[in-house]
Amino acid sequence: MSIDSMFVHKMWNDHELSKMVDGGVPFTMLSDSGGKVGKIYGIYDEDAGIETRGRFIIDPDGIIQGYEVLTPPVGRNVNETFRQVQAFQLIRASKGAEATPSGWKPGKATLKPGPDLVGNVWKEWKTAMAFD
């Protein structure tokens, strides 16, 4: 979503993005002229008249589970976004019985919060697990 009109989105997709991605952008390119939606989400830059790089993970109940906001010159890490979505999906599937510690990614051990885990995280999780 950006402040550009849907017509400009079409031109960008057809003339540039479709040269990077076969068949063009597979998701919806939304228009937020005037930054009305960006203002509500808190990522609209009033002085520059543009949206900053805000990214929101919204779960199936419409609840915001996470967000990240960057100034324009630095691009996002798409893999990190996917990792966070996978972590939230796992937690939702376990109905909160599991939690994903720092450095978790699919295949790595989760934690099962409860009285037995208090003071014992060090047995389950090592500092090296925070890194790839």
Kindly give the pairing relationship between strand 50-51 and strand 44-45. antiparallel
- Asked if 41 touches another protein (CB under 8 A), the answer is yes
Question: What three-state secondary structure class fits 82?
Answer: helix
- Closest among 89, 81, 67, 77 to 110, alpha carbons compared: 89
**φ, ψ dihedrals at 40, nearest 5°:** -65, -40
Residue whose structure tokens are 């967000």: 67
Q: Which stretch binds another protein (CB under 8 A): 55-63, 93-101, 110-118, 120-128?
A: 55-63
- Asked if 39 touches another protein (CB under 8 A), the answer is yes
How far is it, in rounded angstroms, from Cα 34 to Cα 44?
9
- Asked if 4 touches another protein (CB under 8 A), the answer is yes
Q: How far is the CB of 71 from another protein (least distance, A)?
A: 9
- Asked if 9 touches another protein (CB under 8 A), the answer is yes
- Closest among 121, 85, 81 to 101, alpha carbons compared: 121
- Asked if 58 touches another protein (CB under 8 A), the answer is yes
- Asked if 55 touches another protein (CB under 8 A), the answer is yes
- Asked if 63 touches another protein (CB under 8 A), the answer is yes
Residues that bind another protein (CB under 8 A): 1-13, 16, 24-32, 36-44, 46, 48-67, 72-76, 81, 85, 88-89
